[in-house]
Amino acid sequence: AQSVTQPDIHITVSEGASLELRCNYSYGATPYLFWYVQSPGQGLQLLLKYFSGDTLVQGIKGFEAEFKRSQSSFNLRKPSVHWSDAAEYFCAVGARMGSGGGADGLTFGKGTHLIIQP
């Protein structure tokens, strides 16, 4: 079964500084990977996804993530954070199933709480 580890429970970054949130996954093959963001009291919003191809993927709100197969990682980055980026960030992995029908549930990490200092 797949699993996701987000080693940082909390991260504090100054506004305007760069950001990197770590995500490591465990899966027997190449997974498909997602980053979601959750603001307080809100649902989950998709930031970006990786399925195949270019290992550096661009998302919304200026975020990007890089898939590194050798490190089983999919870290999220942003060059300059804004106060509105304060939220909970979740990395998620989905399994590549065989052909046929069915829907694949995602496995989420425990999340990283991002705090932005003025």
Partner 1 sequence: EPEVTQTPSHQVTQMGQEVILRCVPISNHLYFYWYRQILGQKVEFLVSFYNNEISEKSEIFDDQFSVERPDGSNFTLKIRSTKLEDSAMYFCASSTNRQGEQYFGPGTRLTVT
Q: Does 105 bind partner 1 (CB under 8 A)?
A: yes
Per-position DSSP letters for 43-110, written without gaps between them: -EEEEEEE-SS-SEEE-GGG-EEEEEGGGTEEEEEESS--GGG-EEEEEEEE----SSS--PPPEE--
Q: Which residues in 11-70 contact partner 1 (CB under 8 A)? A: 32, 34, 36, 42-46, 49, 51
CB of 51 to partner 1, least distance (A): 7
Residues within the interface to partner 1 (CB under 8 A): 32, 34, 36, 42-46, 49, 51, 90, 92, 94, 96-97, 101-111
